[in-house]
Structure 1
Amino acid sequence: MEQQLMELGQKVAALEAGTGMSNTVNMEIFYWWCTALMITIHAGFLAYEMGASRAKNVLASGTKNLLAFAFVVPTFFFFGWWIYNAFPAGLTIAEGSSAAAPWSASMGPNLSDNATGVFWAAFALFAATTASIMSGAVIERIRLTAFLILAIILGSVVWILGGAWGWHPSGWLTTELGYHDVGAAGVVHLIAGAFTLGVLLNLGPRIGKYDENGQPKPIKAHSVPLTVIGLMLIIVGFFGFLGGCIIYMGGAQWTNIYGQPATLSAFAFNTLMSFSGGIIGGWIKTRDPFWMMSCGLVGIISAASGLDVYYPPLAFTIGFVGGYTAPLVARMLERAKIDDAVGAVAVHGFGGAWGVLAMGLFAAGYPNMGEMPPVTLYGQIISLVVLGVLGFAPGYLISLAMKSAGYLRVPHEVEVMGLDLVEVPIEAYPEGMTQPARKETSSTGGIPGAVPAE
């Protein structure tokens, strides 16, 4: 009998160990595929920006987007991940942050650590996404190397510092103000939009954007269909992005980034409802397919802070308000001579700010973990201001220094010719889409040929 009990105990222990490892591997698999889906966001940004550019700048816009991803990932490895773990309390270095240093045993192959790599990968994709938000706004006139420096600062320093403050379970915005932002409306979108606004103020508008009276003129995208498809790909990738915002707990309920109970079901309800609300808001306001899809994205961002707690019709309403309002914000910026080529400040900056504020308006009193304060409108507003300043100040000051050094913008003649001629060794459309076709003649007289996109 004693021998049988011992064998039974060993089997139970083996079963528990196997279950524990299964939970660990399932967690690893979940974040692996979240990361893969997030790469779809970058396929979307690539199509979105290339379509929004004129044909003479298509490949330069695409190259810029690819390089932003390529530079942000390694810089996030070398210092971005450490910033997140080092500064949740403010600007003092937290104990234990050395585990996130690039030379740490956890930052590489380690059979005793199944978590660090996949969490780092998810956060690295958040970083690359944040940098790419700026990318579309500055197309057709920014120097490539200046952009890459700004992208590294935004993706691997600024946003992740905001993430440490407002997305880390020990972040001071949460522990002191009760800040709640499960889907990163503030720590990603608001920061990126504010940073982009700072850069645009110094970069200036594209040549030809304003007439001699200062009135804005349309600079048409060379492929609106490609842009709309790109936006839809971003939405697909957003399901990976939002999945990465929830914590897989093997054998237990999911939690949000703050340790509060959450479900993917709540995220599913509210993501789809807010997306639909945003599209409808954009359609009612503009009837423009580009803005309909952009406003669908605004809708998700608008509801992002409370995806875990909102009643789905409320998420729809919040998304509708964001989608209806974002084109108005874009128009206001345009009239102020701020040339945002894809509306990134309105979509991400305004959408993120509205998302943070909406959480305070509609979910005040939601309890926090332990003795941390609950959600309050005051806490959300103060956090909104903090994150907005955190994004805007470095974007404005660093781009101002670049402008003063003559380093921010390409030369006038390069911008007129098109960046592809200078920066890219191949042609996007070798059949001649970048120049007007010659006029054809016939026996009946001169018949003008089609004038392709410029």
Structure 2
Amino acid sequence: MDEKTLQSILDMHQAMNIEVFYWWCTAIMFLIHAGFLAYEIGASRSKNALASGMKNVLTLASIIPAFYFVGWWIYNAFPNGLIPIEASAALPWSASMRPDADDMGTGIFFAAFALFGATTGSILSGAVIERIRLGAFLLLAVILGAGVWILAGAWGWHPDGWMLHKLGYHDVGAAGVVHAVAGFFALGVLLNLGARIGKYSDDGKPQVIAPHNMPMTLIGLMLIIVGFFGFLGGCIIFNTGDIGWTTIYGNRTNLSAFAFNTLMGFGGGVIGAYLSSRDPFWTMSGALGGIITVAAGLDLYNPGLAFVLAVTGGALMPKIGALLEKRGLDDSVGAFAVHGFCGFYGVVLVGVFAAGFPNVGEGVPDVSFTGQLTGAVVMAVTGFVPGWGVAYLLKKFNLLRVPPHVEVLGLDLFEVPAKAYPESMATESSSSVPARSGGVVAAPMDKRPDIS
């Protein structure tokens, strides 16, 4: 076998290794959505459990094809801002967007990015459980998962993105481009959606609406953490030749760096949230908050520093959730505190603790506090404005929220229709309604009731 043939075989196997790596990253990312499904089912009351689960399944099924038709093109067409560049190869009818035995890259990168987009939809899903119309939610989720976040990704994650080249923006684990964008989008929706019936007393004090199955919620959160390893694996570039691993910006890194700081972020976030809240729900959510807090600088931090930063993120997260609750915002699972706040906070922290780090590329600025703060604000605004705007329009046309009688009786009865626990003699649909509802009795299950 001559040297040229041997090199050709090695190159082929290297390309196959890259393809296999992202294949399994994408498969592991599906555990994020299994986790969100269990998390939201458990966090809902029993009368809304199945509706919450169906909403998660439909989120995946809606965002993935939408991302194929428009999202991948947005990422490739808008790195310079709001004026598109030529990106015809990313259009759904192009040769690269279909099976091709000679192309071992496009399909698996599309798949990983599509699952990133689906994650943003799942983040929104938890915030709005128990009162949003299914159709309105799916429209919002598609706009976020196949449009808004990937526009931010084109700006802040693309190797040619203007935020990298103008600001020196550094966000290797997508704390800003995924989590902050999705969290602030959810905040905009919540401002229009309003609180669940019974969440606030007549004098405006927040009331506890307890999850019907806290163990399921905790298991769901742990599944999300497992899925995060696939998510973060998809944030690192497996290169051919002798280059090795790099970040999405071209800086050298490796899986070891991600392993150190992901695990330290997990531990710090849990400890910080526990010390701050002593609450099981917030403690487990601290695992997410801690990882997101350090995600933007996973490749840069000393593990000890990552742990300390994650402790602060985990500790602040329940306080942010409580602050929103006192101001009348019913974020059912603390999605803004976990994703929006910790994502924003994590991006800014890179500017504090990694200022001066050199980015790759001629003329690309070093990491700076000003660049990171500006980048975090861009991510927040990019998420919030369309979230608020689209939800406002839906609200004006009475399409955003289910009618009060539907909310009282439970969304399972109207949108599935089925009972999550049919063996139970008494469910919240018929017996555990708020006093102000007048004690409405559940309708029979033999036909779908009117939701209008």
- Provide TM-score, normalisation by structure 1: 0.93
Per-residue deviation at 1:433? 6.0
Per-residue deviation at 1:425? 2.9
For the residue of structure 2 that corresponds to 1:94, the secondary structure is coil
The equivalent residue for 2:33 is: 42
Counterpart of 1:151 (choices 138, 141, 157) is 141
C-alpha spacing 1:433/1:398, structure 2 compared with 1 (3 Å): farther
- Higher mean displacement: 249-258 or 24-33: 249-258
For the residue of structure 2 that corresponds to 1:122, the secondary structure is helix
C-alpha spacing 1:434/1:329, structure 2 compared with 1 (3 Å): farther
Question: Any stretches of 5+ residues in structure 1 without a counterpart?
Answer: 1-9, 440-454
1:57 pairs with 2:48: yes
For the residue of structure 2 that corresponds to 1:106, the secondary structure is helix
1:193 pairs with 2:170: no
The equivalent residue for 1:427 is: 419
Q: How does 1:27-426 map to 2 (within 5 A)?
A: 27-95=18-86, 97-252=87-242, 253-371=244-362, 372-426=364-418
Distance between the aligned counterparts of 2:361 and 2:430, measured in 1? Answer: 73
Q: Report the residue type matching 1:131 in the other structure.
A: G
Residues paired across the two proteins, number:
429
8 Å CA contact 1:55–1:434 kept in 2: the answer is no
C-alpha spacing 1:24/1:333, structure 2 compared with 1 (3 Å): same
Task: Describe the superposition over 1:357-397 as per-residue Cα deviations: whole angstroms up to 9, x where unpaired.
Answer: 10000000110112211100000011111111000000001
8 Å CA contact 1:273–1:313 kept in 2: the answer is yes
Per-residue deviation at 1:111? 1.4
C-alpha spacing 1:194/1:438, structure 2 compared with 1 (3 Å): closer
The equivalent residue for 2:444 is: none
8 Å CA contact 1:181–1:305 kept in 2: the answer is yes
C-alpha spacing 1:364/1:438, structure 2 compared with 1 (3 Å): closer
Distance between the aligned counterparts of 1:15 and 1:176, measured in 2? Answer: 43
C-alpha spacing 1:84/1:434, structure 2 compared with 1 (3 Å): farther
8 Å CA contact 2:408–2:429 kept in 1: the answer is no
Q: CA RMSD in A?
A: 1.3
- Higher mean displacement: 418-427 or 54-63: 418-427
Larger Rg: 1
Q: Percent of pairs identical after alignment? A: 60
Per-residue deviation at 1:437? 12
For the residue of structure 1 that corresponds to 2:240, the secondary structure is coil
Q: Report the residue type matching 1:170 in the other structure.
A: D
Distance between the aligned counterparts of 1:210 and 1:433, measured in 2? Answer: 28
Q: Report the residue type matching 1:175 in the other structure.
A: H
Distance between the aligned counterparts of 1:245 and 1:370, measured in 2? Answer: 19
Distance between the aligned counterparts of 1:133 and 1:105, measured in 2? Answer: 33
Distance between the aligned counterparts of 1:42 and 1:140, measured in 2? Answer: 18
Per-residue deviation at 1:288? 1.5
Q: Report the residue type matching 2:404 in the other structure.
A: H
Structure 1 stretches of at least 4 aligned residues deviating more than 3 Å after TM superposition: 436-439
For the residue of structure 1 that corresponds to 2:158, the secondary structure is coil
8 Å CA contact 2:409–2:430 kept in 1: the answer is no
Q: Report the residue type matching 1:350 in the other structure.
A: F
Task: Describe the superposition over 1:213-246 as per-residue Cα deviations: whole angstroms up to 9, x where unpaired.
Answer: 0000000100000000000000000000000000
C-alpha spacing 1:76/1:433, structure 2 compared with 1 (3 Å): farther
8 Å CA contact 1:56–1:434 kept in 2: the answer is no
Q: Report the residue type matching 2:388 in the other structure.
A: Y
Distance between the aligned counterparts of 1:15 and 1:351, measured in 2? Answer: 49
Distance between the aligned counterparts of 1:233 and 1:437, measured in 2? Answer: 29
For the residue of structure 2 that corresponds to 1:409, the secondary structure is coil
Per-residue deviation at 1:434? 4.7
